[in-house]
Amino acid sequence: MTPTPFAPIAKILGTSIRMLSSEHPGERDAAAQAIRRILARQKLDFHSLADVIEGAGEKKYSDEHLTEIYQRGIQKGRQLEQAAHPRSNGGFHSVDIEPSKWLEMAQECSAHRRKRTEQEEQFVEDMVARAERGQDLTEKQGAWLKSIYGRRPI
């Protein structure tokens, strides 16, 4: 969070504001003049102080603004990932399987075609082609390929 222009003077300003509650009119007047001088040194005035007090309970950001910030963060993360791994095309890098092993796994599944649906057969062939081109699988594709791989006959 960005510090306000009041941050450097907050403590002394708080002390002077409390002095405004004095029973002695001279102390109240001196406190008011002290506050004016403190604010002036920061190029502020009583209006800027009042604005901060009035806005103290307000939300700093709308839900829409926070959603926009979140989406920008996701986009930036994807851009950084793409820059770090240009061939991955936004793909998934498994922690437990090296990307070079996807091809072996897909070829092994392709070699054992028993008890699979037509959709699974097409998926395995697509994954062989994708892995041969050196492309990584998405997280969902990797999970499905591992599931098929786990059902192959040994």
Count of CB atoms situated within 10 Å of the CB of 95: 6
pLDDT tens-place string over residues 101-147:
777 888 888 887 767 888 988 998 888 888 888 777 888 888 888 88
Question: Mean pLDDT of all residues in the chain?
Answer: 80
Q: Is 80 exposed, middle or buried (0-12, 13-18, 19+ CB in 10 A)?
A: exposed
In the structure, what pLDDT confidence band is assigned to residue 86 with cuts at 50, 70 and 90? low
Distance CA 33, CA 31 (A): 5
Which tokens go with 34? 């002290």
Over range 72-101, report the average pLDDT.
64
Q: What is the pTM (predicted TM-score) of this model?
A: 0.38
CA nearest 39: which of 27, 52, 21? 52
